[in-house]
Amino acid sequence: MGIKWDEFFVTGDPLIFASQIGIALTLVGALAGLTYFKKWNYLWSEWFTTVDHKKIGIMYILLGVVMFFRGGIDGLMMKGQTAVPENEFLNAQHYNEVFTTHGVIMILFVAMPLLIGLMNFVIPLQIGARDVAFPQLNALSFWLTVSGAALFNISFIIGGSPDAGWTSYFPLAGKEFSPGIGNNFYAVALQIAGAGTLMTGINFVVTVLKMRTKGMTLMKMPMFTWTSFITSIIIVASFPIFTVALALMTFDRTFGTHFFTISGGGMDMLWANLFWLWGHPEVYIVVLPAFGMLSDIISTFARKTLYGYKSMVISIVMISVLSMLVWVHHFFTMGNSAGVNSFFSITTMAIAIPTGVKVFNWLFTMRKGRIKFTTAMLWALAFVPNFVIGGVTGVMLAMAAADYQYHNTLFLVAHFHYVLIPGVVFPIFAGLYFWWPKMFGYMLNEKIGKWHFWLFVVGFNVTFMPMFFLGLDGAVRRAYTYSAETGFGPLMMISAVGSVILAAGFAALVYNIYWSARNADRNIGNDPWDARTLEWATATPVQHYNFASLPEVTKLDAFWHMKKNNELQPLTEDEIEEIHLPSNTWIPIYMGVIFGISGFLLVFEWTIAAGIAALGILAGLAFRSFDYDEGFHVHKDEIFETESKWRKSAKKGVKNHVS
Amino acid sequence: MSAKVNAALPLEYQTEQNRMNILGFWVFLGAEIVLFATLFGVYGVLGERYAGGPTQKDIFIVKDVMIQTFLLLTSSFTMGISIFEMRRSNIKGMLMWLVFTLLLGGGFLFMEIREFIHYVHEGATMQTSAFLSSFFVLLGTHGLHVTIGIGWAILLIIQILQRGLTPITARKAFIFGLYWHFLDVVWIFIFTFVYLQGLVM
């Protein structure tokens, strides 16, 4: 197997040396701090072994925010490199690594954990359930995501980062042209995280189908639940394709098979097809839940029922079907026949129809509404024009013939940032401001929030708008430098300045979290936004059992109607029953660790050692199989005490904090 | 979550959690279908790219494949009887048929490993050509599933011996049954689209 010690640590680059020292110091500091303040036990019993969907959701969000920082630094480095012609801040290899990790991290370790985090926290509450269908599996999903993220992130100090782009096209990503182990990190880390995501998909399909509270038919579900449900179905239908593609990549790179290499009869286009068969639906996996959040937030702050609820549902189902039928538009120029390109051109443009329906529904929801301009609502409002720019340029790219001109230029890069940032990041920010009080019991500061909003939105446009024009002028993507004669310099500089403003916006969010955690008012009642859906019907922050008695639903926007019809009766003592909950377990975090170790050994192609470590995975499964823990019951007295406390404070009239 | 028991239903469906687990497993099987469909697709694309190496006709042995098919299909049948005995609360019969299933599955696996060793001796390894890469990975994935299934069934038998038939052990046995039948279905596709088609090509 040939142990590759000489490739173990990445050496020679001062930037990376500094990060290595930084990471080592942070680790030592964190470990020492935890030991000094005796927090190990608290962390272990309250967080690491938890199966509570709310805590798992919060940990997902934490992971996403931390990864956002890493992915953002990558972005800043790229912008710094291309700000002026012939810059020598990063060399070509380093630039390749940075744009590869930027893409992977932003999609798979920022967008996904943040969305799945919010899904985890919100969905069971929105459908009036006590937990997800499989709480232990949920914890396992989370720890596998962490494991994959950790493995992917150590690549830049140990072994070397992947450098073949986030799409990792063959033959470039093969052993011949990428001989180091960087692309092994890509194959293995994404495999582990992907397994976690697949299980999340299965979990939420069953949760939504089976755990809805009494009276909540499918057509009475809040939009965020609907979109998350459809997203989960797309996950189940598309992630196994990625699993296979990554496994075949690992086989090609580690065991010398011929799936994607030209020698031995393999086919590089097979990779492109498999990758985008997953990769295109993945775009909708991240966009749909974000659309759902917008629907809930817009109807809350426009104080109206969502316009065209049924057409919304139909359009997300249509989008989900079409999302599986468009993948070839990612490689119109790679030698398909005109017939194939025409088919995929038409299916691609067809997606604009249901998406357009949704945009108009949001606009009609706001029409004649008494809009409250909270920070969450501002994000939702900013979504509309910015996302429309992304959508329109998408239709431009969807024309196969025209795509021969735009493809592989910064125009494309600008397009998908205009889709993914307004379409995913804005809604996530909106969702964070909106649900933050439910998660932590205090609100994020609205004033700092507005700084965050304006810096981010302005920075975003200043960064990516010039890239449309650069692309039309012929600036190719993924080029680490360009000469002054191209004339790209000024626009590139503007774009780089924009990215700094963007980063300042993110810093404002971090500051907001810090400031609000210290100073925000804790006495906000259970329903600070005067909201419409069930998650606001329970205490803030939510008790560990979610609902003392499960609510009964008769209409869409159930909580709103309960408030209007004064149906929110105080709970009487004899209505309270013991609540059954699952116990904490160490198995999921153990599985995350052992998957990480096996994966790490496999990355270095130490296959025998990896095989031995993988026995630990089987041991974990066997342990789980023999685990007959029945969970525990929450005692009536405890429920009564908690419930009377928050209901009293809710009554005092601190409701509707913002009006 | 709910421990409410509905005794009118078969044992494995009696609790709400059980019903969710079974539905969840069906959804998981949906993902498995996509996984195998992708592998079949890959085989469909690469199956005639021999790169000068052996073809299907050169290496496949009809008799051995027929034996493998017979073993696996029979094991699916005995699995069915095992669940039938479970429904009749006959633990002894259930376990006996489960052990038969295991033995037949083990026989299948033995034949498959022998087949692979034979190919490798003939110089047909997964590094030889794209056809063989896709062949070994498709068949290997199925074989790995059978191997995991055998380990799973052994754990299951131990638990049924320890605890008897409860809603939980019954649910576990039922889900294992679904899994085993699924492997059988996948094999029918392998038999048709890999072996039969390869021999008549």
What pLDDT does A73 receive?
Answer: 94
β-strand partners of A9? A158
Name the phi and psi angles at B189, rounded to 5: -65, -40
Tens-place pLDDT, residues A583-599: 999 999 999 999 999 99
Q: Chain A contact for B125, CB < 8 A?
A: no
Among the listed residues A413, A430, A333, the one whose alpha carbon sits nearest the alpha carbon of residue A376 = A430
CB of B34 less than 8 A from some CB of A = yes
pLDDT tens across A166-221, in order?
Answer: 999 999 999 999 988 999 999 999 999 999 999 999 999 999 999 999 999 999 99
Residue A581: strand pairing partners: A632
Round to whole Å and give the CA distance between A357 and A481: 41
| Selection from A629, A140, A630, A214 nearest residue B2 by Cα | A630
A5 pLDDT tier (thresholds 50, 70, 90): low
Interface contact B42-A582, CB threshold 8 A:
no
- Mean pLDDT over all residues of chain B? 94
Q: Identify which of B31, B38, B155 has the shortest CB distance to residue A198.
A: B31
Cα–Cα nearest to B154, from B105, B83, B89: B105
Structural element, H or E, at residue B167: helix B167-190
Q: Average pLDDT of A454-477?
A: 96
Q: Is A555 a catalytic residue?
A: no
Cα distance between residue A324 and residue A200, in whole Å: 20
pLDDT band at A643 (very low <50, low <70, confident <90, very high): confident
Mean pLDDT, range A469-484, rounded to an integer: 94
Q: Does A611 touch chain B (CB under 8 A)?
A: no
Would you tell me the crossing angle of helices A53-82 and A112-126 to the nearest 10 degrees?
A: 150
For chain B, say whether A476 makes contact (Cβ under 8 Å). Answer: no
Instruction: Say whether pLDDT at A659 is over 50.
Output: no
A330 as an active site residue: the answer is: no
pTM exceeding 0.90:
yes
pLDDT bin (cut points 50, 70, 90) of residue B3 is low
Inter-chain touch B130–A259, beta carbons under 8 Å: yes
Chain A within 8 Å of B144 (Cβ-Cβ)?
no
- pLDDT tens for residues A273-312? 999 999 999 999 999 999 999 999 999 999 999 999 999 9
pLDDT given for residue A18 in this prediction: 83
Predicted confidence band of residue B2 (pLDDT cuts 50, 70, 90): very low
CB contact under 8 Å between B27 and A236, yes or no, is yes
Q: Which two tokens stand for residue A111?
A: 């967008």
**Lowest mean pLDDT: which of A101-115, A465-479, A536-550, B79-93?**
A536-550
| pLDDT digit string, tens, across residues B45-69 | 999 999 999 999 999 999 999 999 9
Residue A589, phi-psi category: left (phi > 0), alpha (psi -120 to 50), beta (remainder): alpha
Q: What is the DSSP string of A176-217?
A: TT--SSHHHHHHHHHHHHHHHHHHHHHHHHHHHHH-PPTT--
Identify all chain A residues contacting B38, using CB atoms and an 8 Å cutoff: 240-241, 244-245, 274, 277
Residue A326 has pLDDT above 50, yes or no: yes
How confident is the model at residue A534, as a pLDDT?
93
